[in-house]
Amino acid sequence: MYIRKHLEPNNEDVLVTHYTFMRGGIRDLLLSVKLWRYWLFKSYLSFRLSVSGTKLGFLWPNLSLILVVAVLGTIWGVVLKNSLGIHYYLFLLCGYPFWQLISSTVNKSAKGFSQMGADGALPISYVLFEKIANSAMSLIVVTPLLFFGVFFISQNAFSHLVFFPLALISIFCWCVGISLITAVTVTLLPDIRHLISALMRLSFLATPIIWEPTRLGSYMDFLWFNPFFAPLEMIRYSLSGILYLESVRWVAPIYSMLVLVVGVLAFVFGFNKVRYRAAA
């Protein structure tokens, strides 16, 4: 009885150990946030090096966006026989750059946690913040072109710009949350990586990026089951004023915060297993 009493862990020991594990995950996230200057500047240098050998440099993302919007707007505008006219280009311009941010964030997070930070030099979650910042660099570069295009195309440009800061916060929280969820899942279940890669290819067609939600008719409410729709629709509405589901103005922020909370909880509760896999 004496040996059993002192060797078997009681409920208090389990709770203390569990709290210690949670505290480790929370500390890791806070340290990554405190290093924001480091991962932000490193992402900037990485993006700058990617265009350093070209003549046009930072103009290439802008030219790429113009080409994509012009080609997709002309070809798909004819194929889909859209009725928006010039506003279809506005629809593409305000949606496509942010879809690139979303898809790039998910695809990079699908690689899981690398060995960076496994030796204690850097937090494990640091690599995710760096990937998100790296994905956002192209969006930051094309932002002046984005505002100029909205001003040139839209008749009532920036009439809903008051929602833009909230939309940016929502999409950033969503990206952090979905990155944590994806990276933890892939690290613990590596086979999911290939499934996510395949689903992201299909998501481009399943998400209203090159087609308007109104084409779904009475089935438009089913778009709420698309995990990419709410943050994308919110940011597009804040820039162009194009709105298909009015409730997105309050659904998107709540949904993004929910994804962030789920991502943080997934990382905190799975921190020990993730750290072990990252160090392996």
Domain parsing of the chain, residue ranges: 20-279
Can you tell me the distance from the alpha carbon of 261 to that of 127, in angstroms, rounded to the nearest whole number? 19
pLDDT digits (tens, 9 = 90+) for 164-217: 899 999 999 999 999 999 999 998 888 888 888 888 888 988 898 888 888 888
pLDDT digits (tens, 9 = 90+) for 29-59: 999 899 899 889 988 888 888 777 777 777 8
Residue 80: per-residue pLDDT:
61
> Over the range 115-151, which residues count as b (16 or more CB within 10 Å of their CB) and which as e?
eebbeeebbbbbbbbbbbbbbbbbbebbeebbeebbe
Q: Nearest CA to 278 among 175, 125, 108?
A: 125
Can you tell me the distance from the alpha carbon of 177 to that of 230, in angstroms, rounded to the nearest whole number? 14
- What's the rounded mean pLDDT across residues 219-239? 90
- Using an 8 Å Cβ cutoff, are 113 and 183 in contact? yes
- How much is the pTM? 0.83
pLDDT beyond 60 at 16:
no
Q: From the CA atom positions of the chain, what is the Rg in Å?
A: 22
Q: Six-digit token pair at 42?
A: 């490193």
For residue 104, give Cα distances in angstroms to 54, 116, 139, 143, 178.
22, 20, 11, 17, 12
Q: Nearest CA to 128 among 196, 166, 194, 177?
A: 177
